[in-house]
Amino acid sequence: MLQKLLCLALFVAPVLFAAQTQTYDLLIRNGRIVDGTGNSWFRGDVALRGDTIAAIGKLDGATARRVIEANGQIIAPGFIDTHSHARRQIFEETKAENYIRQGVTTVIEGPDGSSPLPLKPFFDQLRQARIAINMGALVGQGSIREKVIGLVNRKATPDEIEKMKALVKEAMEQGALGLSTGLFYVPGNYTPTEEVIELAKVAGRMGGIHTSHMRDEAAGVLKSVEETIAIGERGGLATQVTHHKIIGKDNWGRSVDTLRLVAAARARGVDVTIDQYPYTASSTGLVALLPQWAQEGGQRELVKRLKDAATRAKIKAAVVESIKFDRGGGDPKNVYIARCSWDQSLEGKNLAEITKARRRSTSFEDAAETALELVTKGGASAIFHAINEDDLVRILKDPLTMIASDGGVEIPKRGVPHPRSYGTFARVLNVYVREKHVLTLEDAVRKMSSLPAVRMGFGDRGLLRPGMKADVVVFDAERVRDKATFAEPHQYAEGFSYVIINGAVVLDDGKMTEARPGQVLLGAAARR
């Protein structure tokens, strides 16, 4: 894949057009063009005709129905988010403003082993909803396994594996970009590697990829990276370590070894890549503090186990360990409630505060007891501060790492979600390009555009080149910034002036329009 990327960069080396007399639909003048390849920026104009980029370069004689003066701002390809949970609220908030305002023009749904089944009705609903943003989807191995055998902790029978393979095939034919696994979650955690590989082979033969929320991102992170690589190597398809992170203080620094494993795999011909969000906190269900064996059968069975004193004691001991050494980051105050449907007063409070309010100490044991109470009542989504900045930067700098939010479409003032949904892409440009100089502007854009486009098989997006689809963003490199914080996440990113999707202006001089030009982007098997 790396050789393909290098060849792509050479093939699409900048082609500057002489003065034009043609008329276009839209002309963006006098910008600094960062074309997505990683090559240095150059001054020029970008002309669009319909939903396609028509010309790039010095277009001094060109005219257009509309002209946008970039005035030295950056003109770049629209950003592609390879790990999104946008389906949760996209039908309620079809404009996806939190994504648009950070330059994202395409999101990929169905990560972590969870997706709609079948996919076709979901795609049809997206088309009918007239969304602003492009969307593609992976098919989730966990969703497939749950449909075939339920939330049970056992190996699948040969007949069940064949049924699951048939569901992968159907999803790929309907437009899935590949197979996602969430081997940390139930029921993915109950799946042997060999079973995943059998499903991955189907996706691979049909032109798909594999992405994985790995089985363990803490003490077992090295084995989990090896498993992700093995799925790609033996499954015969590209494989991706998604939202790569190192969780827990005792494990900090192991990114040196995970990146070494990735490099070694590539050296022997395995097409493995990485994606990442630029924050030192993760977010998932509070139930993530509990062992997976306790979650077999779903919420009802979990509650039954917690009513048995001996079983509850075992589960509680595991939660104590998780708070100490895993997602709890060594202190209950590192676990914040993001959303709680049954008690919104808990949102924004940490586990230590909630435990203290229940007239308990803030010991690990008492905090674990509080966590079990919350899970019993219906659970909540939570934010876990347990990641080290050094690991984050090391992973970010790796040339194989692309940017992905692991966020979703947000409704302003609803809950206290992780700020990544509002700030991921702007934060990279603000903090890690402009402030800390970890990346160059050109490489950051590459990680947000052409690299994810190649990974997802989008041959007509991710670059500013004539003939490519007109997903284009214009932003002020000196002003772009993420405003969302953990305390106040519902704040849009700043600095993006224009966002154009399939040739239609969605963000116009900093203001949202009524345009809803988003398309459903199908995988290779559905395009044949």
Query: Same domain, yes or no, for 258 and 348?
Result: no
Residue 143 lies in a domain: yes
Which residue ranges in the chain fall short of pLDDT 50? 1-20
What pLDDT score was predicted for residue 528? 78
What pLDDT score was predicted for residue 21? 64
Query: Same domain, yes or no, for 98 and 216?
Result: yes
Amino acid at position 150, single letter: G
Residue 213 lies in a domain: yes
Contact yes or no for 494/64 (Cβ under 8 A): no
Q: Which of 452, 479, 499 is the last residue of a domain?
A: 452
Q: Which of 407, 429, 452 is the last residue of a domain?
A: 452
Give the burial string for 40-63 (b: 16+ CB within 10 Å, else e).
ebeebbbbbbebbbbbbbbbeebe
Query: Same domain, yes or no, for 358 and 371?
Result: yes
pTM for this model (two decimals): 0.95
Counting the structural domains of the chain, the total is: 2
Query: Same domain, yes or no, for 262 and 289?
Result: no
C-alpha pair distances (Å), 435 with each of 36, 408, 421: 21, 26, 21
Alpha carbon distance 396, 438 (integer Å): 8
Domain encompassing residue 112: 79-279+386-452
Query: Same domain, yes or no, for 109 and 231?
Result: yes
Please confirm whether the linkage preceding 111 is cis (ω < 30° from 0).
no
Query: Same domain, yes or no, for 355 and 406?
Result: no
Strand bridging mode 272-276 / 239-241? parallel
In this predicted model, what pLDDT tens digit does every residue of 390-424 receive, in sequence order? 999 999 999 999 999 999 999 999 999 999 999 99
What pLDDT score was predicted for residue 77? 98
Query: Same domain, yes or no, for 154 and 233?
Result: yes
Q: Strand ranges (DSSP E) for 260-417?
A: 272-276, 281-285, 335-339, 381-385, 401-403
What pLDDT score was predicted for residue 145? 98
CA 270 to chain centre: 22
Query: Same domain, yes or no, for 312 and 183?
Result: no
Q: Which of 415, 437, 452 is the last residue of a domain?
A: 452
What pLDDT score was predicted for residue 97? 98
Query: Same domain, yes or no, for 127 and 230?
Result: yes
Amino acid at position 502, single letter: N
Which of 75, 2, 67 shows the shortest CA–CA distance to 32? 75
Residue 470 lies in a domain: no
